[in-house]
Amino acid sequence: MTHRASLDNLRRIPVRRPALVLITEYAECGIYVLAAVLLLVAGLLVLWRAGSMLAIDLHQGKKASDIATGALDNALLLLIVVGLLHVAVTGVQKRILVIEPILIVVLIAAIRGILLITSPVSDVGFSWRGSGIELIVLMALVLGVSVSVVLLGRLVGRRPS
């Protein structure tokens, strides 16, 4: 028997964990599952909203730029929901919190905010006092999160899925 084989046998020995730890782990898993179900429902509602808004806009004969802006807004919102759903599913499967998808969701949300502020069909006109400050903050957020994603990818490296 080699040293490696004896280590493999040690890993198979069940370790008894305290009941509080088990209860906490089950509660965490339950919260992840509940969040995943709610996010799945939210994703389906966003898809329904996108389809119905597209049908209504086409039926009313709106301008192509208005239709494209609405479709882009719904697509970005759906990407945010899908990213969060990915985090919840990964939490249930691997029992870890993955940072990269969260950073990508933040990046998509910031870009969505920038597009909504600079959209020509925006309900509120652009002013430097309100919208300009928000635009600068969102652009700084995009820059900071982008640098974080690049640095995290370099530091952690790509893990096999």
What does the pLDDT look like over 86-135, one tens digit per residue? 988 888 888 777 888 888 899 999 998 888 877 765 555 556 667 788 88
Residues 70 and 103 reside in one and the same domain: no
Which domain range does residue 137 map to? 98-161
Residues 22 and 91 reside in one and the same domain: yes
pTM over 0.85: no
Query: What is the count of structural domains for the chain?
Result: 2
Q: Provide the b/e sequence for 39-59 (b: ≥16 CB within 10 Å).
A: beebbeebeeebeeeeeebee
11 domain-assigned: no
User: What is the Cα–Cα distance from 76 to 113, expressed in whole angstroms?
Assistant: 10
